[in-house]
Structure 1
Amino acid sequence: MRLRPFTVDVLLALGQVALLALIGPEASSIGWTELDVRGYALALLVIAPTVVRSKAPLLVCLLTYAIWTVYVAVGYWPVVTSFGPMLCLYTVALQRRTRTTGICAALLAGIWVFGSLVSQDHASVPSVAAQALGVNALVWRLGYLARRSAELARKTRAEQQEQARDAVAEERGRIARELHDVVAHHMSVISVQAGLAKFVFDSDAKTARAALGTISGTSTEALEEMRRMLRVLRAQEDDGEAPDAPMPGLARIGDMTDRVRAGGVPVEFRVRGTPRPIAPGVELCAYRVVQEALTNVLKHARQASATVELHYHRDYIEVSVTDNGEGVIPDRVRSPGGHGLIGMRERAKLYGGTISIGPRSVGGFAVRLTLPTSARFAPPGDDANE
C-alpha cells in the first residue's frame, strides 16, 4: 500500500519525537546541558515544521534551521534534534535546484559548527566541521540523485506515452488504409455493375445477369477481406491465432484486373521477368497500390483502357498502372477528403520504395511503384510524368 506524502511526514515526525524521548535524557551524561521543559519545547518546535516539509520545502527548511539555531545557542545537545534539519535539507535537494540546495547545505554545516563552538570544546571544531561537511554533502547528494531519478522517470513515462500515441496513430493509419483499399475498390466495381444491370435489365437479360454475377463475386471477396482484416485486428500476439485467408498478393492481381475488366474498363495485365517469392508485406503493398490505381480508373476514366505491368528485377519489383484517358481530371490528382493517393505514398515509403503519380505526357495517367526486395537496392528517384 502506497502512503500519502503527508502521512509519511507525520510518521517521520513521530519518529523524531521517539528519538528525542530515547536519547534526550543522555545529554547531561556526556557534558551537554540537561534537557528541561524549555529544551524539550524547543526540540518539539524543531520537529513540528517537518510535518509539512513536502508542501513548502524551502520555507520549512529555513524555519527549522532558525529554531534549531536557537536550540543550539542555548547550549542543548544538537544531536538530539539533528535529524529534522537534515531531513529538510534532503527535501530541498529533492525538489529544488542545485544552487538553492547548496546554500541550504552550507547553512546547515554552519549551524553544526556553531554548535561545536557553543559547547566550549574548541579542540573538536575541526572534527565537527569535517563531519558537518561530509554528512551534509552526503544528504545533499542523496536528494540530488533522488530528484534526477524522479525527473528521469517522468521523462521516460512521457516518452513511453508519446511512443504509445505514435503507435496508436500509426495503427489507425494502417487500418484506415486497409479499409479504404478494401471498400473503395470493391464498391466502385459494384457501383459500375449495378448501374449497368439497371440500364440493360429489360433489354439484355444476359448482360444484366453477368453484371449481377460480378456484383455477387465482388461483394463476397470484399466480405472475405473485411473478415480477414477483423481477424487480424482481434488476434492477440500470444494466442497463436492467425487469419485463415491469405493476404492479397501479386498472384491475385490477375483476378483484380479480370474484375475491373468485367466492370467495363479494358485492362491488360503483363508480367515481365521471372516470378519469385516476395515478402508478404511487399506483395500486399504492390497489390494495394494497383488496386487503388484501378479504382481511380473506374471512378474517373471509365472510357479509357488501362495496362497493368509487373516487372521482376533482381533486387526489386516494379509495378505500373497506366491508362489512356483523355486529358487530366483534377479529381484524380486531388480529391477533397480523399486519402487514396496519400495511402499509396505512405505504403511505398513504409517499405522503402518510391512511387510516381501523375499525368502522362502522351495523355492519360500513370502510377509507377518500385519496391526493393534486397537491402542492397537503392530505389531510383520519383518522376512525376512519363
Structure 2
Amino acid sequence: MGVPVGDGVLAVGLTVAAAVVGQQYHPAGWPPFDLFAYALSALVSLPLALRGIAPFLALVSSCLAFAAYLAAGYQPSLNFWCPAIALYSVAAHRSTRASAVGAALAAAVIFYSGLAAREPGVLVAVVQAVVVPAVVWVFGHRSRQLAERNHQLAEVTAQLHREQEWRARQAVAEEQRRIARELHDVIAHHMSVISVQSGMAGYVFSSAPETARTALGTIAKSSQEALRELRRMLTLLRHGSEDDAPAGAGEARDAYAPVPGLAQVADLAERVRTAGVSVEVRTSGEPRTLPQGMELCAFRVVQESLTNVIKHAPSADASVHIEYRRRELVVTVSDNGRSTGRSVRANVAPPSGHGLIGMRERARLYGGTADAGPRTEGGFRVRLTLPVSSERFDPEGGRPPA
C-alpha cells in the first residue's frame, strides 16, 4: 500500500514551513537554524507521511526526532504540532489502548518541549502537556467512532440491498408461479373440452352428423375462449395493468375483457355439459360483491375441478354449490364418480397433482383453504373456503395486515 498523496503533501509542507520559520525567526538565546537543524526538523515532520498506513510508527518516529531536536537546543517552532497530528491519526485509526499509549508518549515530548522553551515556566508546560494531547485524542477518538458507525451503516445498507434483491427474486418467482397456474387453468380446461369433443365428433361423424356438428361448435367456442383468455393474460403481462391498456377496439377490448368470476360459473357449467358431464349449479346465502382476485380464485377452482371430472370421470354427474356465508365463501364441487362407456373418453394424461397444488396456493393467497379427496358414497369432492369477513386479507401473504 502506497503513501496517501494527502499525507505526503502534508509532511513535505510542514517540513518546508518549519525550515522557513526556523530560518527567518531567531529568538534571543536560541542557536541559529543550521544544516543539522534542517535535518532534525525533517525527521520530525516527514514521518507524518506514514500516518495513514502506520500511524503508531509515525507517532513514535516523530516524537523521538522531536526529542532529539529539542535536546540539540533548537527552538520548538512548528515542529511542536507534528507529534500532535500523529497522535490524532493513532486515535482515529487504532484501538483505545494503542491511542492511550500514544497520548502518553505525545504528552511526554510536549512537556519536554515546554521545559526546553525556558519560558513561561513549568506550569504552562504541564498544562499544554495535558490539554493538547487530551483535545487531540478526543477528536481522533470521535473520528474513529464516526468511521465505525459509517461502516456499520454501510453493512446494514448492503444487507438491506441484498434482502431487497432476494424479495425481488421471490416476487418474480411468485409471479412465474401465478402465471403458470393461470396457463394451467386456462389451457387444461379448454383443451380437455376440445379433446373430449373431438373424440366424440370423430366417433359419431357418420352415424350422428348433428351430434358431431354440435361437438365441432363446442370445439370452436372453447378454442376462441381459450385464445381470448390467453390474449388477455399476455396483454396484461406486456402492459402491467388494465389501466395501461392502449386505446383501441376489437382485439384490444377482448384482451381486457372482465376477469372471470362467480358470475361466469353458469357459462362454464354449460360448456362442460356439452362435453357429456351433467353439471348442476346451486347458490345459497345472499350473493354479494367480492374482491376481483377472490372471485377469480373461486372461478379457477371450479374450472379446475370440472376439468378433472371431464378428464377422469366423463360420464359422471357433477354439482357446484356456492355458499355465501356470513364470514366466508364456500365453494364445493363434487361428482358421483360414474364412468361408463356412454361417452367417448379422450386420450388425456393421468392427473399430475399440479392442479390441486394450484388450488391450495390460490386459496392460501386469500387466507383460505382448499381440500380435495374421495367421497364415502363414491366420486370426488373439492371444497374451497375463503374468509370474507370485514377483516381484509393481504393477497400477497394470506394473512391480515399488521
**TM-score, normalising length: structure 1:** 0.79
Q: Aligned-pair distance for 1:18?
A: 6.2
Distance 1:78 1:249, change over 3 A: farther
CA distance in structure 2 between the aligned counterparts of 1:73 and 1:183, rounded to whole angstroms? 90
Partner of 1:262: 274
Q: Aligned-pair distance for 1:288?
A: 0.7
More displaced 10-residue stretch of structure 1: 290-299 or 70-79: 70-79
Are 1:24 and 2:18 counterparts?
Answer: yes
Paired residues, number: 349
Taking only the aligned residue pairs, the percentage that are identical comes to: 40
Partner of 1:102: 96
CA distance in structure 2 between the aligned counterparts of 1:303 and 1:185, rounded to whole angstroms? 16
Q: Aligned-pair distance for 1:133?
A: 3.3
Partner of 1:113: 107
- Aligned to 2:95, the other structure's residue is in SS state helix
Q: Is the 8 A contact 2:87 2:137 kept in 1?
A: no
* Cα-to-partner distance string for 1:282-324 (whole Å, 9 max, x where unaligned): 1001001111111111222223221111112233221110011
- Aligned to 2:382, the other structure's residue is in SS state strand
Are 1:370 and 2:385 counterparts?
Answer: yes
Q: Is the 8 A contact 1:16 1:83 kept in 2?
A: no
Distance 1:181 1:118, change over 3 A: farther
Distance 1:145 1:269, change over 3 A: same
Q: Aligned-pair distance for 1:124?
A: 1.9
Are 1:230 and 2:234 counterparts?
Answer: yes
Q: Aligned-pair distance for 1:354?
A: 2.1
Q: Is the 8 A contact 1:20 1:81 kept in 2?
A: no
1:245 pairs with 252, 257, 265, which one?
257
2:156 pairs with 132, 152, 156, which one?
152
Q: Aligned-pair distance for 1:372?
A: 2.0
Q: Aligned-pair distance for 1:202?
A: 2.7
Are 1:306 and 2:308 counterparts?
Answer: no
CA distance in structure 1 between the aligned counterparts of 2:315 and 2:364, rounded to whole angstroms? 32
Q: How does 1:185-334 map to 2 (within 5 A)?
A: 185-236=189-240, 240-241=244-245, 244-325=256-337
- Structure 1: gaps (5+ residues): 1-5, 54-59, 93-99, 328-333, 379-386
CA distance in structure 2 between the aligned counterparts of 1:150 and 1:30, rounded to whole angstroms? 52
Distance 1:66 1:315, change over 3 A: same
More displaced 10-residue stretch of structure 1: 175-184 or 202-211: 202-211
Partner of 1:342: 357
**TM-score, normalising length: structure 2:** 0.76
CA distance in structure 2 between the aligned counterparts of 1:139 and 1:280, rounded to whole angstroms? 57
- Structure 2: gaps (5+ residues): 70-75, 116-124, 247-254, 340-349, 394-402
- Aligned to 1:292, the other structure's residue is in SS state helix
CA distance in structure 2 between the aligned counterparts of 1:148 and 1:178, rounded to whole angstroms? 44
Q: Aligned-pair distance for 1:85?
A: 6.0
Q: How does 1:105-184 map to 2 (within 5 A)?
A: 105-119=99-113, 120=115, 121-184=125-188
Partner of 1:47: 49
Q: Aligned-pair distance for 1:214?
A: 0.9
More displaced 10-residue stretch of structure 1: 352-361 or 234-243: 234-243
Q: If you compute each CA radius of gyration, which structure gives the higher value, 1 or 2?
A: 2
2:7 pairs with 10, 13, 17, which one?
13
- Aligned to 2:316, the other structure's residue is in SS state coil
Q: Aligned-pair distance for 1:377?
A: 9.2
